[in-house]
């Protein structure tokens, strides 16, 4: 697995095929039957289904979703980005969406932001923040807080961690830069969060050790602390009870599928 945002475990062809299988099974076709079909046969079977909604809105390929979502973010087109993410969420399992869409999108945006992360909040970050806040979780879905070190100004790692949690089915409370760890811990208690994700990017010279110790000591008893991002492994000695996730896929796997009301 590559570094956070640097590719996933499935190819585009794999994810497209799996999404076709999922949609046909969701419509009542047997898994054994559809697994015997080629990708082109799967697409033909889906196209011939009686679902009128799908006839009006043909399924995009994973590569098309990824490219169009990237363009929507750059153009600050929130409605389009919402529609594309909803389409991907409906068609893909969370793991496939993370591997095929979010990881590559994170990598492309990070490359574009290189050298300007310290210039203050970007408009793209504001759109990603809005995208996180518009995601609907199932009734009773457990809550997760996502934050970043107070001195960190590059929000990409945290925003993509929040998106990952959202598509995995969690109810996300996202906190941007400048929020002290003590306030994050207090917020976790107030909303009865089941997990706290501290996202740590690639910032040079940043030390989040004190903040992680504060969170480790003050989170609610049953709330898991997850340290995520490219620099996560650097802090294994600081918060030994925490989980660590270097990639978005690792974060998705670590969070797991939430159970409503857990």
Interval 66-95: pLDDT, tens: 899 999 988 888 888 988 898 888 888 888
Does residue 15 or residue 194 have the better pLDDT? Answer: 194
Q: Give pLDDT, residue 1.
A: 41
pLDDT band (50, 70, 90) for residue 132? confident
**Residues 26 and 93: beta-carbon distance below 8 Å:** no
Domain boundaries, position 205: 124-255
Same domain, 246 and 213: yes
Q: Which of 113, 138, 158 is the last residue of a domain?
A: 113
Q: Is the pLDDT of residue 155 over 50?
A: yes
Please state which of the ranges 45-54, 71-80, 126-135, 223-232 shows the lowest mean pLDDT. 45-54
Same domain, 134 and 80: no
Q: Give pLDDT, residue 47.
A: 65
Same domain, 138 and 250: yes
Residue-wise pLDDT for 202-227, tens only, equals 765 678 899 999 999 999 988 999 99
Helix (H) / strand (E) containing 171? strand 171-174
Closest-CA residue to 106 (of 177, 68, 174, 161): 161
Instruction: Establish how many alpha carbons lie within 13 A of residue 129's alpha carbon, considering only the half-sphere containing its beta carbon.
Output: 13
Please state which of the ranges 72-76, 94-98, 114-118, 250-254 shows the lowest mean pLDDT. 114-118
Same domain, 103 and 172: no
Same domain, 191 and 238: yes
pLDDT band (50, 70, 90) for residue 98? very high
Same domain, 50 and 150: no
Same domain, 105 and 200: no
Helix (H) / strand (E) containing 79? helix 78-91
Q: Which of 113, 146, 170 is the last residue of a domain?
A: 113
Residue 188 inside a domain? The answer is yes
Residue 81 inside a domain? The answer is yes
Same domain, 180 and 67: no
**pTM for this model (two decimals):** 0.75
Same domain, 96 and 153: no
Same domain, 92 and 17: yes
> 10 Å Cβ neighbour count for 47?
12
Same domain, 140 and 234: yes
Q: Give pLDDT, residue 245.
A: 94
Tally of structural domains, the chain: 2
Same domain, 152 and 241: yes
- Average pLDDT, rounded, for the chain: 82
Q: Is the pLDDT of residue 261 over 80?
A: no
């Amino acid at each position: 697995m590559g570094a956070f945002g640097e590719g996933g475990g499935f190819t585009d062809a794999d994810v497209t095929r799996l999404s076709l299988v999922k949609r046909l099974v969701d419509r009542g076709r047997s898994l054994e039957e559809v697994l015997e079909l080629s990708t082109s046969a799967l697409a033909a079977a889906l196209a011939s289904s009686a679902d009128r909604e799908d006839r009006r809105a043909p399924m995009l390929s994973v590569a098309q979703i990824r490219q169009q979502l990237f363009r929507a973010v750059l153009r600050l087109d929130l409605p389009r980005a919402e529609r594309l993410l909803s389409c991907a969420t409906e068609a893909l399992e969370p793991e496939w969406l993370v591997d095929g869409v979010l990881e590559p999108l994170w990598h492309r945006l990070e490359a574009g932001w290189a050298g300007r992360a310290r210039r203050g909040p970007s408009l793209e970050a504001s759109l990603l923040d809005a995208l996180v806040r518009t995601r609907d979780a199932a009734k009773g879905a457990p809550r997760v807080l996502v934050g970043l070190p107070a001195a960190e100004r590059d929000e990409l790692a945290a925003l993509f961690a929040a998106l990952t949690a959202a598509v995995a089915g969690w109810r996300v409370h996202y906190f941007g830069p400048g929020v002290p760890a003590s306030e994050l811990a207090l917020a976790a208690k107030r909303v009865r969060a089941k997990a706290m994700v501290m996202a740590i990017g690639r910032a040079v010279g940043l030390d989040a050790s004190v903040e992680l110790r504060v969170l480790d000591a003050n989170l609610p008893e049953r709330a898991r602390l997850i340290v995520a991002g490219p620099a996560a492994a650097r802090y294994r000695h600081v918060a030994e009870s925490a989980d660590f996730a270097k990639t978005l896929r690792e974060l998705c796997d670590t969070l797991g599928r939430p159970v409503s009301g857990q």
